[in-house]
């Protein structure tokens, strides 16, 4: 399986201070939220299956999100936007996870194409939540973007629904959450499935 391939993160040019849109596929992630969910899954499944669970494989998780969002094998390019609090320097339960040294301005390639990763943080003039919604609206308004995958904090669901309300019908939008979201004219996927794959939790262990 392609999940088992070794992917290398390689340096790219330094990113701009605010998100920009540059390709067909965009993954927008509240990185603090996803890291908390990964921690909860690690704690709960270690108790359930009786073994140590390693950190989530970042490349594998992004592959799963892309597949759930409709990306298929080929030479496509996918832009990953990780939005996090300025108080956090890393995704503690992901490998690689350090924003400055391992994620920001990096890229990796596999059979789904090339993934470019940039990390952005809140500033004095904008909160993390507003930055997330502004980035989502930027992607919705862009003619370049064809496919948007959104991984918001649960507290942002209402604002995400509002931001997506008037999106171009030509765009394929998938929102990831731990439970189904009421309303909204977008596709939905359960976030836990992609994280379980990235954590190496096998279906037969849950029987």
pLDDT at 125 over 50: yes
pLDDT at 111 over 50: yes
Length of the chain: 207
Q: What's the DSSP call for residue 145?
A: -
In the chain, which residue ranges form alpha helices assigned H by DSSP?
Answer: 31-49, 58-68, 128-141, 157-164, 191-198
Q: Model pTM greater than 0.85?
A: yes
pLDDT at 2: 33
pLDDT at 11: 64
Determine how many CB atoms are found less than 10 A away from the CB of residue 34.
Answer: 25
pLDDT at 1 over 60: no
pLDDT at 107 over 50: yes
User: How far is residue 192's CA from residue 159's CA, in Å, rounded to a whole number?
Assistant: 22
pLDDT at 7 over 60: no
Model confidence band, residue 120 (pLDDT cutoffs 50, 70, 90): very high
Each residue's pLDDT tens digit, 36-57: 999 999 999 999 999 999 999 9
pLDDT at 24: 93
Each residue's pLDDT tens digit, 145-173: 999 999 999 999 999 999 998 787 789 99
pLDDT at 138: 93
Q: What average pLDDT does range 69-82 have in this prediction? A: 94
Helix axes 191-198, 58-68, angle to 10 degrees: 150
Each residue's pLDDT tens digit, 127-139: 999 999 999 999 9
User: How far is residue 44's CA from residue 38's CA, in Å, rounded to a whole number?
Assistant: 10
């Amino acid at each position: 399986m392609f999940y088992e391939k070794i992917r290398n993160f390689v340096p790219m040019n330094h990113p701009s201070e605010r998100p920009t849109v540059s390709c067909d596929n965009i993954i927008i992630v509240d990185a603090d939220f996803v890291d908390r969910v990964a921690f909860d899954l690690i704690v709960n499944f270690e108790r359930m299956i009786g073994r140590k669970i390693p950190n989530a494989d970042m490349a594998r998780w992004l592959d799963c999100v892309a597949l759930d969002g409709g990306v298929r094998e080929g030479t496509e390019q996918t832009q990953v936007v990780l939005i996090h609090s300025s108080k956090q320097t890393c995704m503690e339960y992901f490998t690689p996870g350090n924003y400055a040294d391992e994620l920001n301005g990096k890229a990796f390639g596999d059979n789904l194409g090339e993934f470019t990763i940039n990390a952005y943080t809140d500033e004095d003039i904008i909160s993390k939540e507003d930055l997330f919604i502004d980035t989502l609206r930027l992607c919705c308004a862009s003619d370049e973007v064809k496919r948007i995958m959104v991984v918001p904090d649960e507290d942002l669901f209402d604002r995400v629904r509002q931001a997506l309300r008037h999106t171009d019908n030509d765009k394929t939008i998938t929102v990831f959450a731990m439970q189904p979201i009421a309303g909204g004219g977008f596709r939905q996927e359960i976030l836990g499935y992609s994280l379980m794959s990235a954590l190496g939790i096998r279906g037969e262990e849950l029987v």
